[in-house]
A and B are shown apart, each in its own frame.
Chain A
Amino acid sequence: MISQGSEIRAKDGRAPDVFSRDGWVAMRQYREAEEVDVAVIGTGAGGGVVAAKLAEAGLSVVAFDAGAFYRPLADFASDEREQDKLYWTDDRISGGDDAIEMGSNNSGRAIGGSTVHFQMVALRFRPEWFQARSRLGYGRDWPVDWREMWRCYDEVEDALKIAGPVTYPWGPKRGRYPYRQHELNASAQVLARGAEAMGVDWSPCPISTVSAPRGKSPPCVYRGFCKIGCSTNAKQSILNTYIPRALAAGAEVRDLAMVGRIETGSDGRATGVHYHRDGEWRFQKARRVVVAGYSIETPRLLLNSSSPSHPQGLANAEGLVGTELMVHSNHAVWGVMEDEIRWYKGPPSMAVCEHWNYDDDKDFHGGYAFMSQGPLPTDFATSMVKNLGVFGMELRRRMALYNHMAGLKIVGEVMPTPANRVELSEETDALGLPLPRITFRFGENDRKLSDHALRFMRTMHEAAGARDIFETAGSAHLMGGCRMGFSAADGVVDGAGRAFSCPNLWIADGSVMPTGGGVNPSITIMANATRIAGHMIGAIARGEG
């Protein structure tokens, strides 16, 4: 009766109807020997958008994902431990002075990718960040015009029916969000009070869960389990937006299908993908390949796809694949409030302050946003264990104050650095694929930024009435590893997402981001994927793709 996420569901001409408990929708299928127009690897924020857009343009598309095809209504429990099934929990070797925590911290594995368990914060980049090097003096420029990104953000925000305020305090003047903002929970009101005391702007956070019915999605019921999957379908994830669109437009989605290698011919062009499904290795022929496995798996797959024409790994002629991996610093302050806050109610981050993304009077490069918090119990307890080393009765006493806690946590920009990277290790996984090895260290500027944030937020949290304040450090999100650049020496792919050293290979996920910005990345990844899909469709129509 209950899926453990181990049964293949998308087969025999049908795929799960994600809006039902046990229903199906029709799915077109392609033969492996048939050369499809495009094979898409990964169905998350990047891959899901590309699969839908290309299929809607009339191309034949097969999208592969290593994860399962869930129906939220029947498969998502209100239980943290059970929902670990949504994360990429295979071993990845993590090292360096500030080794990154993987798994539930930043990596999903499911149809819909990490958007199935993301916290729905939907913030745009500051326009100048697309030219961070030339306009702000740090990081890299994107080979992208911010106005083109702006149009794509509009499209994505509408596709997800983002619920947000009538006016947003930062950035270029914008129209209203597609859906009205949600009522603020107590946790968000603490942020608001603090910001007003400090004289900085704050805003209800634009979030990707509907505030009114939309099609088969009911409005959000404020159950607060968003980070482990939304069981009501109020959350607008890739799984219940772009995937149904892709299927309706004739794309095939293959669940529990792990791509191990992209094949290339003697001319250096990609010819198809080797994937493992139902206990065996298989091969799908394709005219073009789009990779969207996120910042660890995309470099891992390319590095594991070396061939005589790509001896150092696919698209790695310049040795850039896997380099400049980024995270966001995710430091936080927490305190006890007199009021009952009960932060388990509602999406975890309902209020945001982007002041330090737009104020340039700072002694460091980059910026940060911070948001109100609402961690579930084991998430909060383990963050105290890992950061403070508390255990025993002391931990139980602190946890007894769960309903009186409030916190502020940053999404802090981290500078791109070549030594922070993904490589292949000597060890292999159960399928015989080399495990990724990740090396990460925060730099000098990164530390200055998080110190600044902790100082500011501590003062602000005190002003809001918090006491017994303590701090935690950490990271969130992944970006980079296969960045876009202006030339082959500057990036793995060009501004249209096409690999410099392999003309029928594109990358369309978070790994192509040259800088990380000070906001959560997914709508930027989706907007960029929208843009890349548009350029692909144009190139194919002109016979150049």
Chain B
Amino acid sequence: MTSPPRRYPDYDVLDKRDSPSWDDITRHVVAGRLNPPERQFFDDALWDVLIALCDTIMPQPDRDRPIAIWIDAALAQNRTTGTRYDNLPPMREAWKRGLAALEAEARLCHGRPFHDLAQDAREALLKAIDREEVAAPEWNDLPPRRMFREVLANEIVRVYYSHPDAWSEIGFGGPASPRGYVRLGPNRRDPWEAEESAATRRSAEP
């Protein structure tokens, strides 16, 4: 498993923290993001499943930014999205049942807990769930694809891309207030934006 090439090797969005691109509330919010709370919601068993799931959905061989703890924090606050699909339970229960079903599926298919599986076996298992090919009775009436995409993967991906390192990784300008941007046209860049490495720019290949 290799990380994607670094397209913006010299860019760190946090370097702009004290520039006019950041305002007080953004500094405050992002500082909080870099400072995870204690676990409150998940027990040890589900926690292991969640950690392994985060590593599979957003693998980070090149770094180790916490994701799971933010999901725990959101559920501890009973933070909801506004959508409860009628074939899914409420958010907290959905997470508990989804992770339990994933764990049961791993044990049924491989005889081992999900977090003990190799990365490619975990990926394959998640792809099967996404194709709705599941066998564990724990799924019961849960819709596997919706559970996987709309609850589990959705939130893990949201947390990953809310970290400043992820903004640097993709060359996103990041916070921009009060200063925005001046150069808007193609291939134009303000001095405070990420510069793409010549090699990747020429290829524009993944």
Task: Point out residues on A near B: beta carbons under 8 Å.
Answer: 1-2, 74-82, 84, 87-95, 99-105, 107, 183-186, 189, 220-225, 231-232, 336-342, 344-346, 376-378, 381-382, 385-386, 389, 391-393, 395-404, 437
Contacts and interface: CB of A to CB of B under 8 A. Distances in A.
Interface in B50-82: 56-59, 79-82
A95 B162 contact: no
A385 B181 CA distance: 29
Contacts of A221: 176-181
Contact of A231 (B2, B171, B173, B177): B177
A513 B101 CA distance: 43
B56 to A, nearest CB: 6
Interface in B131-170: 145, 148-150, 153-154, 157-162, 166-167, 169-170
B22 interface: yes
30 contacts: A74-B25, A77-B25, A78-B175, A79-B26, A81-B33, A82-B25, A89-B79, A91-B82, A93-B84, A95-B85, A103-B81, A184-B185, A221-B179, A221-B180, A223-B179, A231-B23, A232-B177, A339-B186, A341-B186, A342-B173, A344-B172, A345-B180, A381-B160, A385-B157, A389-B148, A392-B57, A395-B157, A399-B161, A399-B166, A403-B172
Interface of B: 1-5, 7, 22-26, 28-30, 33, 56-59, 79-87, 90-91, 123, 126-127, 130, 145, 148-150, 153-154, 157-162, 166-167, 169-182, 184-189, 193-194, 196, 201, 204, 206
B172 A402 contact: yes
B157 A437 contact: no
Given A224-B180, A377-B170, A94 B189 contact: no
Contact of A393 (B59, B175, B196, B201): B59
Contacts of A403: 7, 170-172, 194, 196
B185 A185 contact: yes
Given A222-B184, A386-B149, A392-B56, A344 B173 contact: yes
Contacts of B177: 76, 78, 221, 223, 225, 231-232
Contacts of A338: 204
B35 to A, nearest CB: 14
B158 A78 contact: no
A104 B177 CA distance: 22
B4 A396 contact: yes
Nearest to B27: A77
Contacts, number: 223
A404 B171 CA distance: 10
Contacts of A398: 206
Contacts of B188: 186
A79 B30 contact: yes
Contact of A92 (B84, B171, B181, B186): B84
B81 A89 contact: yes
B155 to A, nearest CB: 9
A344 to B, nearest CB: 5
Q: Which of B5, B29, B79 has its CB near the most chain A CB atoms (within 10 A)?
A: B29
Contact of B170 (A89, A99, A399): A399
B130 A389 contact: yes
B3 to A, nearest CB: 7
B162 A89 contact: no
Nearest to A96: B86
Nearest to A103: B82
Contact of A400 (B2, B29, B170): B170
